[in-house]
Structure 1
Amino acid sequence: MAYGVLLALCAAVLMGVATVLQALGARRETAGGPVRAMFQWPFLVGVGVDALGFVAEVVALRSVPLFLVEAALASSLAVTAAVAAAVLRVRLRSAEWGAVVAVCCGLAVLAVAAGHEGTSDGDARLRWVTLGTSVGLILLGWVVNRRVHRARAAVLGGIAGLSFGLTGIGVRLLPDDITVTGVPAAPTAYAVVVSGLGGYLLLIEALRSGSVTAATGAMVIGETVWPGVFGVVWLGDTTRPGFAPLGVAGFVVSVAGALALARFGEAEQTPLPTGGAGPRQEE
């Protein structure tokens, strides 16, 4: 249990740092556009750190409840905010520092209250439904991107969050006795790939469509709330006996803190000029 909690927190730290590294790489190459920015060393290191974070997430999902892992992943925004303040010289407001503290306190409470993950890994029908849903969400995102104009950033961000949540569910639905050779035959293995990559592309479109805050806020809600409920209702995830109210409170506080830090979903804030004027604030 403690090992899984530690891995979930490591995943959050790694993904939060990766966001800042990728932003740093993107800002070092402005003339060559986004393609050349991807070959800047901070961006490449950020991609590698992000991959390590995903590995830590996958292992954590196999040992602790979904609601704990997803709340920890949302807390990566707190890591991004803290690292951006130091590396990108972003000025955090008092309320945002308070949100960072809230995220940390909420996760601490949630870790204390969390019980063991459920023993169920679903049946064959649920695994195929998971794969079909992952494809359906990508198609829905494609339609939204073409047809929806009002609040498109928030809607796409929400669909991206649902896809990321489905990634976690897909990992949990992999049979406990699965072997490396058995992975290609597992529908949920494909669901993990489709929902993970699809969610990433949808999030990029959401960030390009409008407010970073709206897109990231909707993503946080989508990737935390419904997977947590799914884990409790369908997979048997529990809190420790008598700790359910404390677990709910910790979950709500950590997610609320992450939502307050939603503008750091894309760590492309304007750095502080040497003259001392404050940075441009996101919506």
Structure 2
Amino acid sequence: MMCALGAAVCFGTATVLQAMAARAAGRGAGGDATLLLRALKQWRYLAGLALDGLGFLLQIAALRSIPIYAVGAALASSLAVTAVVAARLLRVRPTGSEWAAVAVVCAGLAMLGLASGAEGGRAGSRDLEYAMLATAAVLLLGPAAGRLPRWGRDLVLGLCAGFGFGVVEVAVRLIDSLAPGSLFTNPATYALLLGGGAAFLLLTTALERGSVTVATAGMVVGETVGPATIGVVWLGDRTRDGLTWLAVLGFVVAVAGALTLARFGEAPVAEG
């Protein structure tokens, strides 16, 4: 659980650092490629990338030791981290309800930490591996949702991005060996790569074209509910004896709090 929370801290802090660097780099002429090159020269952007890398390693470690439902809820809490860091570094003023949501997320994670059992011991089937690969392949078509009407486009793109991140979570659990012979013949390896790539593409498209709040809310739902269900039904994730109710309550509370903080899916502009 500490690895999952550490990943959330890394991702949430990286969002703010990269936003600060991108905005500073944007003060000049040039297109997107030039903007990226200018951002890469700033220590904040590089620090954000380093934190993203560390967060991914911590996420993998967490997924190999605790249930997917606990990791998913913890990663959703990165929005709470972004809210707190943005309040400090960007001088953004979260509302009273948003500060309350941060406390709610923390309470939900505390309940999950108390109730979560060990990682499920059931091995994933070959059918599940191919199902994850097929899902990732279909998600590559997700940007076509950008043609939908505005009211549905942002939500669909966000949900699809969440499904992509969910594929990554499940695929990590389905990779049993890092030996080259096993790794390169495992469909879950390619599901992880395609799912992660599709998720970033879809999320970027959603944030560029519409509402950050709606897209991020869809992403939170997509990356938590589906993977948690797969972990419980197909991979044997369980809770501590007699604490299933507490795990369910903690999961719902943490995700609900994260949804309230959805506008921090992209670090907001500094006030004043």
Q: Which residue of 2 aligns with 1:21?
A: 17
- Whole-Å Cα distance in 2 between the matches of residues 199 and 90 of structure 1? 27
Q: What do residues 76-106 of structure 1 show as CA deviations (whole Å, max 9, x unaligned)?
A: 0000000000011100111111000111111
Q: Which amino acid aligns with 2:10?
A: L
How far apart, CA to CA, are the structure 1 residues paired with 2:134 and 2:36? 32
* Amino-acid identity (%): 48
Q: Which amino acid in 1 is paired with 2:20?
A: L
* Counterpart Cα distance in 1 of 2:81 and 2:148: 35
**Which residue of the other structure, out of 45, 48, 56, is the alignment partner of 1:46?**
48
**How far has the Cα of 1:228 moved from its partner?**
0.6
- Deviations along 1:93-148, one digit per CA (max 9) or x if unpaired, are 11111000111111011010001111122122221221111101222x13312455
> Residue 36 and residue 86 in structure 1: after superposition, are their counterparts in 2 closer, same or farther (change >3 A)?
farther
Aligned mate of 1:108, from 83, 107, 110? 110
- Kindly provide the CA deviation profile for residues 168-212 of structure 1, in whole angstroms up to 9, marking residues without a partner as x: 00101112x442553222211111111011101100001112110
- Which digits, 9 at most, give the CA deviation of each residue in 1:229-267, with x for residues without a partner? 110011110010100111111001100110000000000
Contact 2:161 2:200 in 1 (8 A): yes
TM-score, with normalisation over the residues of structure 2? 0.94
Where 1:170 maps in the other structure, the secondary structure is helix
Residues 1:227 and 2:227 aligned together: yes
In structure 2, what is the equivalent of residue 196 of structure 1? Answer: 196
Equivalent residue number for residue 162 of structure 2:
161
Q: Structure 1, unaligned stretches of length 5 or more?
A: 274-283
**Structure 1 residues 260, 183: CA separation in 2 closer, same or farther (over 3 Å shift)?**
same
Cα displacement string for residues 10-50 of structure 1 (whole angstroms, at most 9, x for unaligned residues): 10000000100110111102224443333322222212211
2:173 match: 172
Aligned equivalents of 2:269 and 2:148: distance in 1?
Answer: 32
Partners in 2 of 1:148 and 1:167 — Cα distance? 29
Separation (CA, whole Å) in 1 of partners of 2:220 and 2:164? 11
Partners in 2 of 1:55 and 1:148 — Cα distance? 38
Matching residue's letter, 2:106: C
TM-score (norm 1): 0.90
Change over 3 Å in CA distance of 1:145–1:247 after alignment to 2? same
Could you list the structure 1 runs, at least 4 aligned residues long, displaced by more than 6 angstroms after superposition.
none
Amino acid at match of 2:51: V
| Letter matched to residue 113 of structure 1 | A
Counterpart secondary structure, 2:270: coil
Is the contact made by 2:8 and 2:74 (CA closer than 8 Å) also made in structure 1? yes
- Give the match for residue 7 of structure 1: 3
CA distance in 2, matches of 1:55, 1:174: 15
Amino acid at match of 2:270: P
The aligned counterpart of 2:240 is: 240
Q: Quote the residue 2:269 is aligned against.
A: 270
Distance change >3 Å, CA 116–CA 128, structure 1 → 2: same
Moved more, 5-14 or 181-190: 181-190
CA separation in 2, counterparts of 1:195 and 1:156? 14
SS in 2 for 1:185: coil
- Report the counterpart of residue 128 of structure 1 in structure 2: 130
Contact 2:143 2:157 in 1 (8 A): no
| Residue aligning to 1:78 | 80
Q: 5+ residue gaps in structure 2?
A: none
Check conservation: 1:25, 1:37, Cα contact below 8 A: no
CA contact (8 A) 2:106 2:254 kept: yes
